């Protein structure tokens, strides 16, 4: 029996699916060629494998294979999208719009551009985590070159209305980028129907390997220009130079292929597990769901509690369950989640929160064990707090 805690942190990363690993292994050993080496069979094998995965990923989002640019992950894809647009469209405008609850891989590149003279407008969200579409429309100007809004939030799982945002941007001739790292394989994504021009994806949120991602870059209607952020060889249509990591690319394709094939029944199963968990946790007094209760990823449950110390709660849960708390540690400084404070939560409530990321390999038995442990832990912490007072 494993001594490891029950893993419920699938928004941080997911375990690699054995089917994905098996697809990757040959490309570490006998099929190790460089996909750019087109003069012998080793290169041909890798080139064919890369093409197959590119086709799978393109089909998954209703794109063309040549619009898929491989990167080291969603962070690089986000940087390439934001900085690439800023540099390529500098003459048109320097106004960029994004949202307060975006991942740091969006907000920090925007902060960098701000230091370079760009005007960055960071829109707030409503209490449910959704953006105000009227507010977005008012924010758009003649010199707005880019709008970046994530598809599914990495903390609260909220699904933004990509269709309405995309339509608004297309009508105004503004490039629309979405960070869909948490969304691929979990919700339908169609770049044509949603009028998406740039989309960042990653494999490790969908039971694939770490270290591989993609940026979808629209080629027509309209054709999107990007300034490369990495040079040296002209790979990936000149947008991202570097030898392609064939095993990772194969794993990415296989992971998405599996996720799409199982998407509907898996979402139903995850929703049932989430609701089962919440039904038990909701018996605790002064507990709240963060984010929209329905418009969220099936496996996401983010909650906050009153009367509980956040650090103590996180520490007490660890032996039984691996989850993310509502605090982030950086340089030994503990701070409440900026996503939760953006919802309007007081700092103390944002700090005492837990994100449950339920995944493919979790069971009903695990959910019940976690619920029981959580309830017992909260009661114990609150009792201890009362005694101290």
Q: Which residues are catalytic?
A: 329
30 exposure class (CB count in 10 Å sphere: 0-12, 13-18, 19+)? exposed
The CA distance from 217 to 69, in Å, is 7
Strand ranges in 319-388 using DSSP code E only, listed in sequence order: 321-322, 324-325, 327-330, 333-336, 353-357
* Number of other CB atoms surrounding residue 204 within 10 Å: 23
The C-alpha angle 337, 338, 339, rounded to 5 degrees, equals 90
The C-alpha angle 128, 130, 134, rounded to 5 degrees, equals 125
The CA distance from 326 to 16, in Å, is 25
Q: Six-digit token pair at 154?
A: 């990495």
Strand ranges in the chain using DSSP code E only, listed in sequence order: 6-7, 68-71, 95-99, 119-123, 144-148, 175-179, 198-202, 213-217, 287-289, 300-305, 321-322, 324-325, 327-330, 333-336, 353-357
Closest CA to 252 of 218, 205, 199, 299: 205
Q: Where are the alpha helices (DSSP H) in 175-320?
A: 246-281, 310-317
DSSP string, 181-205: TTTTTTS---TTTTT-SEEEEESTT
């Amino acid at each position: 029996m494993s001594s490891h805690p029950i893993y419920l942190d699938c928004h941080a990363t997911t375990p690699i699916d054995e089917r994905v690993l098996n697809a990757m292994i040959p490309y570490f050993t006998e099929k190790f060629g460089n996909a750019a080496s087109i003069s012998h069979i080793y290169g041909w094998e890798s080139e064919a494998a890369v093409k197959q995965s590119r086709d799978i990923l393109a089909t998954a989002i209703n794109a063309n294979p040549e619009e898929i640019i491989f990167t080291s992950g969603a962070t690089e894809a986000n940087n390439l999208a934001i900085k690439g647009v800023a540099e390529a469209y500098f003459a048109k405008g320097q106004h960029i719009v994004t949202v307060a609850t975006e991942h740091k891989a969006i907000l920090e590149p925007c902060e960098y551009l701000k230091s370079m003279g760009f005007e960055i407008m960071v829109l707030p969200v409503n209490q449910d985590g959704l953006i105000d579409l009227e507010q977005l429309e008012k924010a758009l100007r003649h010199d707005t070159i880019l709008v970046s809004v994530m598809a599914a939030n990495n903390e609260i799982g909220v699904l933004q209305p990509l269709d309405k945002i995309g339509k608004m941007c297309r009508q105004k001739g503004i490039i629309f980028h979405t960070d869909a790292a948490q969304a691929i394989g979990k919700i339908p994504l169609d770049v044509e129907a949603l009028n998406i021009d740039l989309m960042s994806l990653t494999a490790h949120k969908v039971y694939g390997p770490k270290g591989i991602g993609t940026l979808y870059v629209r080629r027509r209607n309209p054709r999107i220009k990007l300034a490369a952020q990495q040079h040296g060889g002209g790979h990936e249509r000149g947008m991202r130079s570097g030898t392609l990591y064939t095993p990772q690319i194969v794993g990415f394709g296989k992971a998405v292929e599996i996720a799409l094939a199982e998407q509907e029944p898996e979402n139903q199963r995850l929703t049932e597990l989430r609701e089962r968990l919440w039904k038990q946790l909701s018996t605790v007094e002064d507990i709240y769901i963060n984010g929209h209760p329905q418009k969220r990823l099936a496996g996401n449950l983010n909650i906050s509690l009153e009367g509980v110390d956040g650090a103590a709660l996180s520490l007490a849960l660890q032996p039984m369950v691996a989850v993310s708390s509502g605090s982030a540690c950086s340089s030994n400084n503990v701070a409440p989640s900026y996503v939760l404070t953006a919802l309007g939560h007081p700092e103390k409530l944002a700090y005492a929160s837990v994100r449950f990321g339920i995944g493919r390999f979790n069971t009903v038995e695990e959910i019940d064990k976690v619920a029981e442990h959580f309830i017992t832990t909260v009661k114990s912490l609150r009792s201890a707090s009362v005694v101290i007072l």
